Amino acid sequence: MALVLAAVAGPSLWLQRNVVDQDGFVALAGPLGGDKEFQESLTTLLSGQAAASLNLPSFLNKLAVEIINSAAQNIYSDPGYPQAWSETLQRSHALTFAAAGKSEVAEDLQLDLAPLVDLVAAKVTADVGATVPIPKEVVVGMEQPQIARALPLAVTLGGWSGWMVFIAVDLLALGVIVARRRALTVVASGVGLGIVALLWLLASGAAQRYLSALVLGPGSATQIGAQVAELARDSWQGGITLTFVLAGVVAAVGVASLVVGRRRTT
């Protein structure tokens, strides 16, 4: 029971800290903003959203779009970009989780680009002296209803993760205490934890492939989904490695206890 609960508790704790918690999500997805390939996709999205707010004749609109696109390509070296990207992630997280599980709200992942579009507008204003009219809200749907529908479950599992870890540890300790052959039980517990870590390792690769294949919406959504899935797997590797180490320590303690016990009997 302890091992089964631990197998669920580990990923649940990761979900709570890196997906449900806003600060954790910003820390997880933050490096995405510095990826060159992602920035190319983001530039196209930002240019389109900023240009959509213009109401100009066609011959002027084309020129304005080129100016906006140039400004969007240059915002990544702007001192305000890191803060704007962090604010984008914060606002997107809040919007998405506010809609999670509510049937009256469109079930989707929401990307709030307002801070970045404001940065593009400020860049255009500084470069050419022309003010770009920007709408108050610049929210883009990522067309990922399947992921959005799974968010309430992630919230529930994350909320229970701390208790699950606590109960799993208590059950493991209780199992050793009541066992007739405690040293052998400790060895078995270490081997069991190793198997749990191995299952996590296999599942992390499968989850990355699933998420990468699932994001089939706009090009920007595909890029975000694939790279966030990769970041998530890299983040989860720390927990898997720690569990492997813990499993080895527990098994070693059990083996040492067996050896000491046999020497005493002889």
> Which two tokens mark 39?
């920035």
Q: What pLDDT score does 19 carry? A: 87
Q: What pLDDT score does 171 carry? A: 92
| Digitized pLDDT (tens) for each residue of the chain, 266 residues in all | 999 999 999 989 988 988 889 999 898 888 888 888 778 778 877 777 766 666 555 555 666 667 777 777 888 888 888 998 999 899 888 888 876 555 444 556 778 888 888 888 787 777 666 666 666 677 777 666 677 777 888 888 888 999 999 999 999 889 888 888 888 888 999 999 999 999 998 888 777 776 666 554 555 555 666 677 777 778 888 888 999 999 999 889 888 887 776 666 65
CA distance 55 to 173: 69
**Residue 238, burial from CB neighbour count under 10 angstroms (0-12, 13-18, 19+):** exposed
Q: What pLDDT score does 31 carry? A: 86
Is residue 10 within 8 A of residue 92, CB to CB? The reply is no
Q: What pLDDT score does 112 carry? A: 83
Q: What pLDDT score does 203 carry? A: 85
CA distance 80 to 200: 38
